Amino acid sequence: MLEIKDLHAGFEGVEIVKGVSLTVNRGEVHAIMGPNGSGKSTLSKVLAGHPAYEVTAGSITFDGKNILDMDPEQRALEGIFLGFQYPVEIPGVNNAEFLRMAYNAQRVHKGEDELDPLEFDDLLVEKMKLVSMDPRYKDRALNDGFSGGEKKKNEILQMAVLNPQLGLLDETDSGLDIDALKAVSAGINKLASKDNALILITHYQRLLNYIEPHFVHVFSHGKIVKSGDKKLALEVEEQGYDWVATATK
Ligand code: ADP
Ligand code: MG
Ligand code: MG
């Protein structure tokens, strides 16, 4: 489904992603682990089409289509979803209304009728149950004054509503206490299916105690330096990232 080949990308002439290749198929959960500043968030933003980043070499195809030619909206309509490491607060934009607009954009793209607020409400309430989110967050402004954990839950709610082919979750576990981590992980596990794929970007192994990845990739200095199964995550936890960097030299 997703094929990244020798991707180089950066910001204002500084290369941050330095030759990433990765293949992700339907039904797979991949974890990308790496130290702070190694370029994980940059990779996720490049996949989502963030305009601040420039791709200087390599290719990204999604279902055989070159997505580098697509703007972020098109990529989203193709089924790519990015859950942000730092979700933005948008005062004045109602959470439910925002979700309905995003959801309806997809329906229109597929040639279906838009849902009106009442119809959408039924769907939203279902999805909020799925991610154990209190329905009162419907009526709040988007992430406005949300705690760190509530923002992350809201990202998972967005993913639940949009039902993407590929979910990229950037440090969804960071800033969560143990109960929030369990709730968010349970929501993610319910959303993972044989028809979609997930890439979990994380600094810590602990998320992987709750969501079992099929593949683990260690990211360092803009590259995947080692790939393996979930045992690799435990090795990293025990030995630290320096161990991987040294072991692959
Ligand atoms: P990670 O998510 O692995 O912690 P990031 O992708 O956030 O790493 O950052 C990798 C490096 O790229 C860091 O040194 C960061 O400061 C730099 N970087 C990322 N985005 C920008 C940007 N928009 N402007 C300047 N530097 C950036
Ligand atoms: Mg970071
Ligand atoms: Mg990051």
User: Could you list the pLDDT tens digit for every one of the 249 residues in the chain?
Assistant: 999 999 999 999 999 999 999 999 999 999 999 999 999 999 999 999 999 999 999 999 999 999 999 999 999 999 999 998 889 999 999 999 999 999 999 999 999 999 999 999 999 999 999 888 999 999 999 999 998 888 999 999 999 999 999 999 999 988 888 988 998 899 999 999 999 999 999 988 889 999 999 999 999 999 999 999 999 999 998 888 887 766 565
Question: Alpha-carbon distance 120 to 7, whole Å?
Answer: 39
Q: If phi over 0 gives left and psi between -120 and 50 gives alpha, with beta otherwise, what is residue 75?
A: alpha
Ligand 1 pocket, 164 CB below 6 A? no
pLDDT of residue 247: 59
Question: Alpha-carbon distance 202 to 216, whole Å?
Answer: 10
ipTM over 0.95: no
Q: Which of 7, 8, 11 to mutate to test the pocket of ligand 1 (most atoms within 8 A of CB)?
A: 11
Question: Alpha-carbon distance 193 to 212, whole Å?
Answer: 13
Domain formed by 2-247, architecture: 3-Layer(aba) Sandwich (3.40)
Domain boundaries, the chain: 2-247
pLDDT of residue 107: 95
Question: Alpha-carbon distance 191 to 83, whole Å?
Answer: 14
The whole-model pTM stands at 0.93
Q: What is the chain's length?
A: 249
Angle (CA) 57-59-63 rounded to 5° is 170
Neighbours of ion ligand 2 (CB under 5 A): 36
Q: Which residue puts its alpha carbon closest to atom 24 of ligand 1?
A: 11
Ligand 1 pocket, 178 CB below 6 A? no
pLDDT of residue 100: 97
Strands in the chain per DSSP E = 2-11, 14-24, 29-33, 54-62, 65-66, 80-83, 90-94, 141-142, 166-170, 197-202, 215-220, 223-228
